Amino acid sequence: MHIVKGIRFYGRGSARTLGTHRDYGLEIIYLEKGALNWHVQGRVERVTAGSVFFSLPWEEHGSVDEFEPGHYWHWVQFGLTGRVDRPRRNFSFHPEFGLPARESREVSATLTNAKRHSHPATNQAAWVIKTLVEELSHPGRQGDVYIAALGRLAILELGRCIESVGSGGQGEDASVRRVETLVTLLRTECDQAWTLENMAERCGLGRSRFATLCRRLTGDSPLILVNRLRVDRAKQLLRETPRSITDIAFECGFSSSQYFARVFRSFTGMDARGYRLKHARA
């Protein structure tokens, strides 16, 4: 059976980690389960269950963490016309998708102007990406036509996912910005004695409201987020310094070396000594 030329690569499943790479075309990933820390051109984003993540072919992206358990994704790469080895503000999609020039310009503007690459998926986006991968894996009758139609819909629906992020009111936007600012602060001050109460107070929000926005933006509850950032700092110190594991545990804000050991293993799949030895050999 003829394979749709506009889609060369697709799949579903999981991976221990996603190495930094570039793709053949526009990649759209629907994360059905789990939460991941990925970067695009070095900028880290939290991808949570029920989100779509996109990257353009000139954008390097991949995992921040070396161990990413418990996730499941569906992904498709859509071919573009013209050069894909350098950034372009305007681009068109493979003719098989049947996107008119005007719509292609609108989609390309939405994608290149987006401040983030991960966005909450609409119900339609979740359905169409999963269905498209299934149809590509097991084409039915008139498969080429059906796949092209699903591909066109997936591209357009991605644009709607991005545009829907800004549909909240001004109060909502201000609250989100305050939480985003705190998350940035936590990356450098994760060693402090953070509690749900003082984080919420720092953002001028109630505890429940703050926890909801934190989970929406990062995929983690506030206290899990703090531990994740502490472990990230501990990994850097284990790789780059000869300090003892106990000293590193306290420097990163953990109350005891035993608690640090338990948390570190839950996030990395190994103990701190094994992590240091692995990177010393590398």
- Encode pLDDT of 24-55 as tens digits: 999 999 999 888 889 999 888 888 888 999 99
Res 129 pLDDT > 60: yes
pLDDT at 1: 45
Res 168 pLDDT > 80: no
- Encode pLDDT of 69-127 as tens digits: 778 999 999 999 998 999 999 999 999 999 999 999 999 999 999 989 999 899 999 99
pLDDT at 166: 52
pLDDT at 165: 62
- Encode pLDDT of 204-245 as tens digits: 999 999 998 888 777 788 999 999 899 989 999 999 999 999
C-alpha closest to that of 254 among 270, 232, 221, 269: 232
- Encode pLDDT of 270-282 as tens digits: 999 999 998 887 6
Ordered by where they begin, the domains of the chain are: 10-167 (2.60.120), 170-281 (1.10.10.60)
Least confident stretch, 34-43, 51-60, 163-172:
163-172
User: Cα dihedral angle (197, 203, 206, 209), rounded to 10 degrees?
Assistant: -110
3-state helix, strand, coil in the chain (%, to 5): 50, 15, 35
Say if residues 249 and 227 touch (Cβ distance below 8 Å). Answer: no
pLDDT at 169: 45
pLDDT at 3: 64
Res 22 pLDDT > 70: yes
Instruction: Tell me the pTM.
Output: 0.71
- In whole angstroms, give the CA distance from residue 157 to residue 155: 6
C-alpha closest to that of 158 among 216, 188, 118: 118
Least confident stretch, 57-61, 137-141, 204-208, 259-263:
137-141
Res 4 pLDDT > 90: no
The amino acid that residue 270 corresponds to is M
pLDDT higher at 176 or 90: 90
Which residue is associated with the tokens 């545990």?
A: 249
pLDDT at 263: 95
Report the chain's mean pLDDT, rounded to a whole number.
Answer: 90
User: What single-letter DSSP state applies at residue 269?
Assistant: S
Q: Count of H helices and E strands in the chain?
A: 10, 8
